[in-house]
Amino acid sequence: MVNKETFLCQICSESKKHDEIVPAESVPEPITELIRKECPAWSSGGYICRTDLDRFRAQYVGEVLKNEKVELTVLEGTVRQTMKDHELLAKNINIEFDRQLSFGERLSDHIADFAGSWTFIISFTGVMFLWIVVNTFIIVTRPFDPYPYILLNLVLSAVAAIQAPFIIMSQNRQESRDRLNAEHDYRVNLHNEMEIHQLHKKIDHLLFIQGQRLLEIQKIQVELMENLIRKTS
């Protein structure tokens, strides 16, 4: 304090009248931190002129807007990275599973697929019908498999006995494939759940910070309007 009517501004070091200064203790903390960066000798027991305070207010608003832009850019990059990680995690494991199959496993799968198709049913029914016709009507005198077609029953039993292991092996591999798919889906779902949870936390934090900054900016705008009214009146 220089005299009873003038006060010393800590920023510009000029003497100001009572209506041109603001006590340092009434300056909001975010603006105080900004002032300390420029003026380390800042004291909460001193004063600051309204001109310098308005300058720091405008500087604070500019930095808030700049920081929000940076935070939004970082959040956008995080979302893109999350999508990229999800693409890398969500692979088609059926292709990798098929690449690891041996020749015998592939052969058993093809046999099981053919044995469970209409082509096999129709073909085998035709062979049986031809077998019966040949041994009943065409070769009447000396049929190679006369009724009751014991050789045909033997062939049918042999085919069924050979088919069963192939079908069982194919089913076991299908169960392994399904189990691998289920584990992969679980990992993908767990990854997605964790990423979504993290994104929600980041967005909530961003909204909370933005709300606080918006209130501070509104307060600064009100103070600037009051200063403008005071100057014009």
Residue 101 belongs to what H/E stretch? Answer: none
Pick from 75, 19, 13, 2: nearest CA to 231: 19
Q: In angstroms, what CA-CA distances link 72 with 87, 112, 173, 205, 207?
A: 23, 56, 48, 12, 11
Q: Which helix (H) or strand (E) holds 17?
A: strand 15-17
How sure is the predictor about 142, in pLDDT bands with cuts at 50, 70 and 90? confident
> So what's the pLDDT on residue 126?
92
Averaged confidence pLDDT in the chain: 78
pLDDT, residue 1, reads 44
CA distances from 206 to 34, 75, 196 (A): 21, 9, 15
Give the confidence band of 87 by pLDDT, cuts at 50, 70, 90. Answer: low
Identify the pLDDT of residue 97: 66
- DSSP secondary structure string, 137-180? IIS-SS-SS-TTTHHHHHHHHHHHHHHHHHHHHHHHHHHHHHHH
pLDDT in tens, 121-133: 899 899 989 988 8
% helix / strand / coil in the chain, to the nearest 5?
75, 5, 15
Does an H or E element contain 4, and which?
A: none
Note the pTM of the prediction, 2 decimals: 0.40
Asked if residue 84 has pLDDT above 70, the reply is no
